[in-house]
Amino acid sequence: MDREFRCAILAEAGAGKTEELRQRASVLAGRGKPAFFIRIEDIEADFYRALEIGEEAQFQTWLQSAEEAWFFLDSVDEARLENPRAFEKALRRFAKGIESGAHRAHVYLSSRTYAWRPREDRRLLDEILFLAAPQEGEGGEVIQQAEPQSALTVYTMRPLDEDRVRRLRHPLVFDAEIPHQITPKTSVKARCSLSNSPNLVINGRKRSSGMFGIGS
């Protein structure tokens, strides 16, 4: 998941999404990467004070560079508690802040499942932070599309039950289930239930080194 440029991560309360995003931001920042953990509900009031991991000076340096950066925004449901439009307003403020470097920004949003509106929120994110998904053919050549597809991918995290805990004890055991993964083309991919976090798994790719595949 570390290579996703637009990503929403859905989970129920207590699944560990906030700590997972905060940890990934810390790991990347510790490696000298431009990485930021941001509370969505605080963005509109003050963009820079909303940064819990990352500093204004680091953000400005990234903005003027050609580097990629990682932004972990938590969480959609908290932003909507007081005002249903608060999430949209904060997202627009965020998009304006990263505008000149938006094509270099990996943006991850977290939300409780009940607060995520599949059609409306996908449309909103594509309106405000649209990025075309790269399309590669055989041999790795880039395919030109008449109508670019969105890079936005949605993942769901599941709490572990006893059976998944047992399977996690063996690092090479794959979950045989085939989940529905929400993507711009609604594809179906095999899931590997591997996690560094003791209370969750994610419907996505093999994560023997963490949800985002970047180690810990």
**Residues 179 and 155: beta-carbon distance below 8 Å:** no
Among 11-25, 66-80, 167-181, the range scoring the smallest mean pLDDT is 167-181
Name which residue leads in pLDDT, 147 or 25: 25
Cis peptide upstream of residue 209 (ω within 30 degrees of 0): no
- Residue partners of 130: CB distance under 8 A and separation at least 6: 150
C-alpha span between 129 and 152 (Å, rounded): 9
Name which residue leads in pLDDT, 159 or 27: 27
**DSSP per-residue codes, 122-145:** HHHHHHHH--BPP-B-GGGPBPP-
The two three-digit tokens of residue 90, written as one number: 């904060």
Q: What is the pLDDT of residue 108?
A: 98
Place 146 in a pLDDT band, splitting at 50, 70 and 90.
low
Name which residue leads in pLDDT, 136 or 41: 41
Give residue-wise pLDDT tens across range 60-104: 999 999 999 999 999 999 999 878 899 999 999 999 999 999 999
Average pLDDT over residues 126-146: 76
Place 211 in a pLDDT band, splitting at 50, 70 and 90.
low
pLDDT at 172 over 90: no
The domains found in the chain, sorted by start residue, are 6-157 (3.40.50)
The two three-digit tokens of residue 4, written as one number: 């996703």
pLDDT at 142 over 50: yes
Strands 152-158 and 201-202: antiparallel
Helix-strand-coil percent breakdown of the chain, rounded to 5?
35, 20, 45
Place 203 in a pLDDT band, splitting at 50, 70 and 90.
very low
pLDDT at 133 over 70: yes
Give residue-wise pLDDT tens across range 45-65: 889 999 999 999 999 999 999
The two three-digit tokens of residue 56, written as one number: 């204004």
**Residues 4 and 153: beta-carbon distance below 8 Å:** yes
Give residue-wise pLDDT tens across range 26-42: 999 999 999 999 999 99
Q: What is the mean pLDDT of the chain?
A: 79
C-alpha span between 8 and 106 (Å, rounded): 11
